[in-house]
Amino acid sequence: MKEKILKLLKDSKNEFISGQEISQQLNVSRTAIWKYINALKEEGYEIESVSRKGYMLLSTPDILNYEEIRKYLETKHIGREIFYFDTLDSTNLKAKELAANEQKEGTVVIAEEQTNGRGRLGRSWSSPKKKGIWMSIILTPEIEPTDAAKVTQVAAAAVWKGINEVGVKTQIKWPNDIVLNGKKVCGVLTEMSGELNRLNYLVVGIGINANMSDEDFPEEIRGLATSLKIELNKEVERKELIGRILNNFEELYEELIHNNSIDKSIKICVENSALIGKDVRLILKGKEEEAKAIDISKEGELIIQDKNGDISKIISGEVSV
């Protein structure tokens, strides 16, 4: 009901809508409306109420619920259900819990803050309140478990495109980073549940440093991390960016679902790669190696050439330039 009232307020932009009209349209009592209006005010919506005129929405807060993101969404199913939290340990953990119960393709979990944000291999991901985008997408594609890594490339390409659409040109650092001026601005964490030959579900976690200042980062990563705000010198509209990323994600992900191909995503990842054509250091199974990054395969693997000229493919790992 609260969402419905908010929608009516938004629809009658810059004009008062009377309590009576809301009450008639939604079949709800005037006292109940008053309670919902107060709840909205508490969430940060600025609503003017004038007796005999009714209510007028003056401003909407910078929050990431479905109602706020909806107007930027052009998707059929990705993000059409959003679970929104003020604080969570980790959106990936919550998404896995939801997926284990419902397994609903396209459901998105968003939190304003993560108290135990996670990176790969048990590393942590710094996620201060309202400064970034911390979200996870639940997916149930009919692909082999061995193909799960492809979805990381799809997500990286979708984030690259979304950020590009708001005017920032980033680079993709295979397999799961987006970098800006050599510093990390986004990380992707794809986790899956499945058996040897059957995938139950995937959770794609995306963390984007949107509006952090330098001092919002823990000291130990200040030299390695950056935000869109630091590089642009102005705040970015988080809800718009989420909308754009989800729109691009759906388009690129459909190629995987319908054609079992991720060519479009790979093209974006190669053309905007921070690694291809460069000499890189790899950590593979604990061992450090030097090689040249030459391409990304259709499967999403990094193709490298070692000092002896031998070419090989790697499916995951740590790479630095």
CA 104 to mean position of chain CA atoms? 17
Cα separation of the two ends of the chain = 53
Nearer to ligand BT5 by Cβ, of 9 and 110: the residue is 110
Q: Please name the amino acid found at residue 198.
A: R
318-320 β-sheet, strand order: 311-314, 302-305, 287-296, 279-284, 318-320
State in angstroms the smallest separation of the CB of 154 from ligand BT5: 15
State in angstroms the smallest separation of the CB of 211 from ligand BT5: 12
Rg (CA), the chain: 22
Nearer to ligand BT5 by Cβ, of 37 and 203: the residue is 203
Helix axes 263-271, 148-165, angle to 10 degrees: 60
Q: Is 149 strand, coil or helix?
A: helix
Nearer to ligand BT5 by Cβ, of 135 and 274: the residue is 135
CA 2 to mean position of chain CA atoms? 25
State in angstroms the smallest separation of the CB of 242 from ligand BT5: 12
Nearer to ligand BT5 by Cβ, of 29 and 213: the residue is 213
- State the Cα angle at 27 between 22 and 33, rounded to 5°: 50
Nearer to ligand BT5 by Cβ, of 146 and 320: the residue is 320
Q: Where are the alpha helices (DSSP H) in the chain?
A: 2-11, 19-26, 30-43, 66-69, 91-101, 148-165, 228-232, 238-259, 263-271
* Number of CB atoms found within 10 A of residue 73's CB: 19
What is the pairing mode between strands 108-114 and 82-88?
Answer: parallel
State in angstroms the smallest separation of the CB of 92 from ligand BT5: 4
State in angstroms the smallest separation of the CB of 181 from ligand BT5: 13
Nearer to ligand BT5 by Cβ, of 46 and 214: the residue is 214
What secondary structure letter does DSSP report for 220?
G
State in angstroms the smallest separation of the CB of 221 from ligand BT5: 5
State in angstroms the smallest separation of the CB of 120 from ligand BT5: 3
Nearer to ligand BT5 by Cβ, of 17 and 189: the residue is 189
The answer to whether 277 and 307 are in contact (CB under 8 A) is no
State in angstroms the smallest separation of the CB of 21 from ligand BT5: 40
For residues 268 and 176, give the distance between their C-alpha atoms in angstroms, rounded to a whole number: 13
The answer to whether 45 and 38 are in contact (CB under 8 A) is no
Token digits of residue 63: 């929050």
Nearer to ligand BT5 by Cβ, of 117 and 162: the residue is 117
State in angstroms the smallest separation of the CB of 168 from ligand BT5: 15
Nearer to ligand BT5 by Cβ, of 36 and 201: the residue is 201
Binding site for ligand BT5 (CB under 6 A): 90-92, 114, 117-121, 123, 125-127, 134-136, 176-177, 184, 187-189, 205-207, 209, 221, 224-225
Residue nearest to ligand BT5 (CB): 187
For residues 217 and 221, give the distance between their C-alpha atoms in angstroms, rounded to a whole number: 7
